[in-house]
Amino acid sequence: MGSRIDWTGLTAETAHRPWSLPSRPWVMTMSWLDLLFAHWSIDAEVLRQQVPPALELDTFDGLGYLSLVPFRMEHVGPRGLGWLPGTLPGPRSFPELNVRTYVTHQGRPGVWFFSLDAADQLAVWGARTAFHLPYFAAEITVTNEAVTNENNWIRYRSRRRDRRLGPGVLDARYRPIGRPLEVQPGSLEHWLTERYCLYAIDHRGRVRRGDIHHRPWPIYAAEAEFATNTVADAHGFELVGEPILQFAQRLDVLGWWLD
C-alpha cells in the first residue's frame, strides 16, 4: 500500500507558471511516468498547413517542432475519487503515445495534438467526448518500467489499431542519462516542455483551451534507439535527423474542463 498524493497541495506552487491558475476548481488528476520527449525540428510552413487556422503556430528561432511523447498514465480520474495503489475501484492506468506541436492563442502558449494513441478504449472514448481530443486506440506494451539507475532501458512498443487514422508503429527504447537538468526560462528546453494548456477544436469549430497545472518538469537528458518509428506518417510528417531527447520519471498533474 502507498500513501495518498496531496493533489490539492500542488496548487500552492505557482510561481513558475506563465499565468495564474483558473478561478474555477480543477476536475481531474493524472500522473505521467517514464516519459520521453523526442523533438524534431520541422519546417514551420509544413506544420502550419496541419494546424487549424484559428491557432497561431509557435516557433523557436523560426523553427517549428514536432514531438513524440511515449509515457505511462496513472491515477487518471475525477477529483475526489482518490486512489490507493493496487486497489479497485480507482482511477485508470494505461500507456499513451502523443504526436504534438506548439501553438499560441490569445497570447497563451500551449500544445496542439495531432494524435494521442492509448491502450484504453474507455479513455479514448472519454477524451474524445469530453475534451475533443484526437485519441486513437492502440496496442501498447511497456517493459523494464522501474527506472532505478542510468543503466535501465525502458522498452516501448505501440501499434495503432484505430481505423479513424492510418497505421503507426513505435518500437523504441530509452533511458535517462546524467543528473537532472537545470532548465532555464528562455531556453529551447524550457520552451518545449513548460506549457500549461492544450488546445482543441470542438464540433462547432470553436477553439477550446484545457488548462493543466504541475510543478516544473524534472527533466533529464536522455538517449533513445528507434527500431521502428512510423507514428507521424499518417499525419504526413517526415522525421529527419536526430531528435532532441529529454526524460522525466514522474510528474503529477491537475486538469480543468475546457474553456
CATH number for the domain harbouring residue 113: 2.40.400
Residues in the chain predicted with pLDDT less than 70, given as ranges, are: 1-3, 81-91, 145-151
Angstrom CA distances, 204 to 78, 112, 125, 163, 215, stand at 26, 18, 19, 23, 33
Question: How many domains, the chain?
Answer: 1
pLDDT, tens only, 151-186:
689 999 999 999 999 999 999 999 999 999 999 999
Do the domain assignments include residue 40?
Answer: yes
Q: Domain limits at 147?
A: 8-255
Q: Please state, in angstroms and rounded to a whole number, the distance separating the CA atoms of residues 83 and 80.
A: 9
- pTM (2 d.p.): 0.92
Q: What does the alpha-carbon distance between residue 254 and residue 214 come to, in Å, rounded to a whole number?
A: 7
Residue 2 covered by a domain: no
Q: What is the pLDDT of residue 92?
A: 80
Cβ(217)–Cβ(17) under 8 Å?
no
Assess if residue 211 is contained within a domain. yes
pLDDT of residue 221: 96
Is 3 among the domain residues?
A: no
Name the 3-class secondary structure at 32. strand
The answer to whether position 1 is within a domain reads no
Helix (H) or strand (E) holding 191: helix 188-193
